Amino acid sequence: MRFKRLKRRTEIKKGQLDIAPLIDVVFQLLIFFMLTSNFVFQPGIRVSLPRAVTSEVISSENLVVTVTGQDLLFLNDTPITVNELAMKLKEASDQNKSLLLKADTGASLGRVVEIWDLCRQEGIAQINIATNTKAGQNTA
């Protein structure tokens, strides 16, 4: 038995592109990036701030000094020693900047008072202490 071959010619027309698969791929990429962006965490210093009922929200530009529960010092999220902090505070006092002190509830009072005295000694006019008014809300 002999079969006949049918000759088919498929013509490719220039300038026509089916965009339905392209839309599907773009939509899937959009969903992928939306879902994975929720899992990106910002690095930072974990500090449990004390609670205060009468605290106010401060929105001005401050130097932020953080004292962790292990009495480690950070200036604007950068580890720093007391001597380096003294130099930075002197520069900040020349620029009339205020200071925001974030001290963990487990930080020793002696370390907080040491930082406070250092600020006064270097001429920082305004020192604010960061607190929580409600669970999870940081204020100064």
Residue numbers of the chain with a pLDDT score lower than 50: none
pLDDT for position 17: 74
Q: Which residues of 55-89 are buried (b: 16+ CB within 10 A; e: fewer)?
A: beeeeeebbbbbbbeeeebbbeeeebeeeebeebb
User: Which residues, 6 or more positions from 74, have their beta carbon under 8 angstroms from its beta carbon?
Assistant: 45, 64, 65, 66, 68, 80
pLDDT for position 25: 93
Contact predicate 138/45, CB 8 Å: no
Q: Residue 9: how many CB atoms within 10 A of its CB?
A: 4
Question: Which domains, and CATH codes, for the chain?
Answer: 62-139 (3.30.420.270)
